Every structure is written in structure tokens, then in C-alpha cells.
Chains A and B, each alone.
Chain A
Amino acid sequence: MSLLDQPSSSSLSGGGTTRGQAWGLVGLLAAAVMAWLVFAVWPDWLNAILISKKAFVSAILNGITLAGLYFLVASGFTLIFGLMRNVNLAHGSLYLLGAYIGYEVTNRTGYWLLGVAAGFAVLAIVGVVMQVFVFRRLEGDDLRQTLVSIGISIVAADLMLAVWAGGTYQITTPEWLDGALTLPIITAVRSNGVSVFLTYPLYRVVVLAAAIVIGVGLWLMLHKTRVGMMIRAGVDDRAMLQASGVNVHAVFAIVFAVGAGLAGFAGVVGGSALSVAPGEDVRYLLASLVVVIVGGMGSITGAAIGALLIGLAEQIGLVYFPTYGIVLTFVIMVVTLAVRPQGIMGKAR
């Protein structure tokens, strides 16, 4: 029986391990190297190569935070695309509109949380309106839906420019989110033996935490609730879902509300961390596109992986090769398409 106890040792993969185990080992090794890079005190030669430990760790942390933001925007995009085959190219406009609304509400009421809630709620309504009055009329014609979403994004960008002009806004965060967090990461040791710890804005940590909470929430909604079950079924086979008596239009409206609402939410949250200005819509649209292309359509896990890759690539590129940073994003996209056209977590169609 001892032979049967080890079914994993196949002749195909040498060394007595399966492919999965080998990848797991590589992953563990990478995680160990990463952990060492983050927590150890760097020797001088490493500081010389990677500028400084502070720059490196900051880039990683910024990348992960940005990934959280990208995930919030792209998860809605990927759900809408996966379920309705609707490439909503106005998704970046939804982000920007959410940011402007959050700015206005926060400015007038003085409550930041109210601004966040307004950003989500208003955009959720906008999303439902778009789905019911625009996209439902063009159902089954995905090219026309895409063209219409392009038209909407042009008009929306222009109208937002008319209302809020070309200036840059910053949404003020409440006091309890200001300040910095001292992380247990030693960046350097001073000559008198005192360790210098890395400080990081508390707000960004909160953004990341919010993204993780929402990501887990979305996953639970998709995998543990009835609506989620319908959505997953719709991603796999829309016609069959309809045939089994589900009101797909209600499901579509829910997904659009959640997707657009998340874009609006991300707008307020991102507008507080960074800034709100015309042109941001294109930036987040690009991020959503690349995240979905890399992660695979209709997959929340894929969106998380894609967002992490793109966020890290962008921030690391910004620090180490500022004028070629976007090339990294390019490379990630092209390599994904070359190796796995349907995206990392996408299902082959």
C-alpha cells in the first residue's frame, strides 16, 4: 500500500513532486525572500542596488494600496463584463463622478463618511438607470453596447468638465484618519544603534483594509448567497440561467448597481488619497481594462490578482524606472495574452 500512498510522484515531473507542489515551493520561496526583504535590515550592497530600503518598501506598500483601489474599480467592471458581456467603457467616468459627488457632499456637510456613502449610493442609482434605460435596449449586441458606453463617457467627461471645471480637488479626510502609522519594519539603523521604523499614512492602510473587506464581502456574496449563485451561473451560461426561470434583468440591475456603486465608492476613497481631476477617468478605465484582461473576465479573484500585479508594477516602475514605468504594465498584459489569452483566472471560451 505504500506505493498507493504516494500518488503524487509521477514520472512526468522529476524530483518526485507534482507541478502544483513545485509551484507551491516556488511561491513559498518567493514569500520568504519577500519577507526577508521587508523585515530584515538591509546590507549596504542591497541598498546600493535598490536605492534604499525605505524607497523599496514604500513602493511595495504604495503598490498594494493602489491595488486595493484598482480592485474596487475593476471588480465592478469585471462582474458587469462577465455577466452581461457588456464592456462598460464609461466605468472610468463612474469613478470620477463618484469622486466629484463625494467631494461636494463632504464639503457641504463636513462628514467624510456621508460623502463615501453618497458616492456609493448615487452611482449605484446611476448604474441601474444606465442598465435599465440604455443597455437593456441593446441586449445581445455587445458591440453597440460598447459604442454607446464610449458615447456616454465622452458626454459625461465633458459635462463634468462643465460643472467642476479643470481644477484639481482634494477630498478632506476626517481627523481620525489623518496621521501616520509606525510599522514594525526597520528601514535603517542609526549610528547610535537606534532603529528607524517605517511610518506609513494611516489613511492608506484603511483604504487597503476597506478593499480587502469589500473583496471578501463580494466573494461571500458571490459564493454564499442566492443572488451570487445566480450571478455566477449567469457568467457561465446566461441563456441557461434565463431558461431556468430566473429574472435575469433583476440580476443584471443588481450587478450594475453594485459595480457602479463600487466605482463611485472607489472614487471618493481614491479622491481622498490622491486627487480628483479631469483625466482620472481614463486612468482608472485603463487600470480596469488591464486588470480584467490580466485577471480574466467575471472573476473576483482574478480582479484581485490583476489589481495586485498592476498596482505593484505601476509603483515599482515609478520608483525604479520612472520614464519606462508603463512598459511594465504593457509587458504584463502582453505576456498574459500570449500565455493565457483568457486571463489568469478566466475560463476558456
Chain B
Amino acid sequence: MSLAITTNVTPQQNWLERLGAGHIILAVALMLYPLVASDFFLTQIGGYSLIFGMLGLSLMLLAGYGGMVSLAQITVAGISAYAIAILGNNNSNILGFGWPWWLAVPFAVLAAALASALIGWVSVRTEGIYTIMITLAIATATYYFAQQNYAIFNGHSGYTGIRAPAFWGIGWRDARPFYYLCLGLAVLSYAAVLYGSRSTFGMTLQAIRDNPRRMRALGYHVTAHKVFAWLLAGVIAGLAGVLLVWFNGRVSPGTIGVDAAIDVLIIAVIGGLRHPIGPFLGAVVVVLMQTFAIDIVGAERFNTLIGMVFLVIVFVSPDGILGLWGRIKPHLAQESLRPGQ
């Protein structure tokens, strides 16, 4: 199975060629987007899509390269969001250590990454379709835990009044700076995933996805590689969680509910799990639908619409927008056809 992605890197190419025309055009368009977009389109569409694109990206990293479809990405993001609320300042008079942002953010992301690695460690003990079940169980249980626990999660109401920091004379929750902040972090994670997929680790991970037994026989530590992939995905999801809590100004059990967990999966699947750009495409489509489909079907029946679109995509074009299937299908489909290993 060929694992080459978009470009075949040869030493003769200069950096411009290696970047690819598509990326440059996209980057310029995204940089110039604030010139034409209103504040609403900048944050509610642009920023929100980028945040959920990052969440989808963390899922894509696991599912596309590792063959592990997770439903717990929003949970990981929620952990970093809650960590920001607890370590920094909030209005809820519970906890709130008042740490400055440059201290709170690294710790929040670290907490998310560790939680992700833990979830990964638990779920990689089994294979294939079990991962979805275990991660969904973890996501749901975390949601109920956040709802019933007041000492840590402040129960049903969660935390409010969380402010994005202001430094270098810029209030980062303002429309334009926030958009660029999201864009910067999204591009960073995107580039990291793209680069990482061609690194030794990325190649090993993909080889493990395709044939874990052979890789184990070759002497690779399969579990360690998978758990490390979970750790990396946790970093990306954790960053997205920080942006999410700054964006909303609040975090509650509803943020990490089962609906949200499934939304992330829908975004990644609609966009395509084959290339890191897929989740971002999916996020734009879903966010646009969320914003404007209300005018067509009414706010109440939106979930029916998105569910139908999702069903159609899975049925008719399982490749998502990009064509995701060829990648994880052989791996996961074969699992079910190998009886009693």
C-alpha cells in the first residue's frame, strides 16, 4: 500500500515546490480572508471551523494513520478547557487558581495529552472496532461525571467567565486576532501532522495500522507507538480545547456531551480521513450547515438533516469529501474477516 501523500519529496526541489501550489494558494486565501469577512464570519464560521478542524485533525491522525477511530477527542479537548477554567480565572467562584495564561495553557495541553495517552493505553489493549466502543464509553462516562461532580467540574453549569488573554497590546478574543490565532495554531498542527506522517514514527504507525502482527514480529513496540500517537493527538485536541474555551468564554458538560463527540466524528468522516486537510474541509461544511441550514429546515430539525447527510456520505461516498475509505477500510474490514486469530 502506497503511503505517499500529495507530494513526492525529492532533494532537488526547493522549499517553494515542496510546499505545493495548493498550499500556497490556500494560505494566501486564509490570510486575506479577514479583509472580506465580517466579524461574524471571522469567528463564528472561520474560527469555529478551524477549532473543530483541529479536533477532527486529531481524530484523523488516529484513524487515518493509526486505524484507531476515537470518539473521545472532544473529551480530551474538554479536559484542557476545564483545566484552563480551573487553573486560570473564572466567574463561578469554584477553584480558579488565577494562573497567568502562559502557565495555564501548557499545563492544560499537557493534561489533555496525558489524558489522551491514558485513553489510548486503555483502548489499544483491544483491536479494531472495540476502540470506538471503549472511547464512546469513556466520552459518555466523562460527560456524566462532569455533570454530577461539583467539586471539580462545578456540575451542570460548568464554568463561565473565562477570558482569552490580552498581551502584546492585543485582546486575543477580538474577531481578527482570534481568527489569526486559530489559523496559526491550525496551520501549525496541520504542518506537524503532515510532516509527522512522513517521519520515521509516522511511517511506523502506518505500518502498524496495516499489519500489527508483522510489525510486532519485526521487533517494534506496537503498543508504545499507538499510545504515543494518542499523546500527539491529545496535544492537538488540547490546543483546540484551549481555543474552544476562549471562544465560548465558558465550558460545561454540554461542551463535551455525546452530541459533540459525534460531531467531531461526523466532521472528520464527511471531510475525509485520508489527508490532514480533510477534517478542516469537513469542519467548514458542517459549521456552514449548522449556521445556515437553520433557515431551511428550522432550528429544531437540524440534527435530522446533519444525520441524513452523514448517512448519505457513509453510504454513497464513504470516501468523504476527500476519499477516505481506501485507507482504513482494508485494515478494519479485514479484522472482521479474520475469524479466530
Contacts and interface: CB of A to CB of B under 8 A. Distances in A.
Contacts of B137: 286, 289-290, 293, 333
Interface string B313-341: 01100100000000011001101110111
Interface string A159-197: 101100000000000000000000000000000000000
Interface residues of A, number: 49
A31 interface: no
Contacts of B302: 158
A240 B279 CA distance: 39
Given A286-B141, A293-B133, A323 B310 contact: no
B126 A341 contact: yes
Interface stretch (A8-16, A37-45, A117-125, A146-154): A146-154
13 contacts: A144-B318, A147-B269, A151-B311, A154-B303, A155-B308, A158-B307, A159-B304, A162-B304, A237-B339, A239-B339, A286-B137, A324-B145, A337-B125
Contact of B148 (A144, A325, A338, A349): A325
Contacts of A329: 141
B129 interface: yes
Which 7 residue pairs spanning A and B have beta carbons closest together? A154-B307, A155-B307, A158-B303, A151-B311, A341-B125, A286-B140, A289-B137
B207 interface: no
A165 to B, nearest CB: 10
Nearest to B118: A334
A207 B42 CA distance: 55
Contacts of A162: 300-301, 304
B315 A150 contact: no
B183 interface: no
B339 A158 contact: no
B122 A334 contact: yes
Contacts of A323: 148-151
B315 A148 contact: yes
B262 interface: yes
B140 A285 contact: yes
Dominant SS among interface residues on chain B: helix
B340 A236 contact: yes
B149 to A, nearest CB: 5
A80 interface: no
Contacts, number: 136
Interface string B131-161: 0111011101100110011110000000000
B307 A326 contact: no
A86 B125 CA distance: 19
Contact of A143 (B328, B337, B340): B328
A344 interface: no
B288 interface: no
Interface in B171-218: none
A330 interface: yes
B128 interface: yes
B59 interface: no
A290 B142 CA distance: 13
B86 interface: no
Given A144-B318, A293-B133, A282 B339 contact: no
Interface residues of B, number: 49
A142 B145 contact: no
Contacts of B310: 147, 150-151, 154
Interface string A230-267: 00000011111000000000000000000000000000
A338 to B, nearest CB: 7
Contacts of A159: 304
A289 B341 contact: no
A73 B10 CA distance: 57
A142 B269 contact: no
A132 to B, nearest CB: 15
A150 B314 CA distance: 11
A324 B150 CA distance: 10
A348 to B, nearest CB: 9
Interface in A120-137: 137
Given A89-B136, A144-B318, A342 B126 contact: yes
B303 A143 contact: no
A240 B339 contact: yes
B265 interface: yes
A349 B340 CA distance: 5
A274 interface: no
B332 A142 contact: yes
A322 interface: yes
A148 B314 contact: yes
A217 to B, nearest CB: 26
Given A144-B314, A337-B122, 10 more contacts: A85-B129, A146-B69, A158-B302, A239-B337, A285-B136, A289-B137, A290-B137, A333-B134, A338-B125, A342-B126
B131 to A, nearest CB: 10
A287 to B, nearest CB: 10
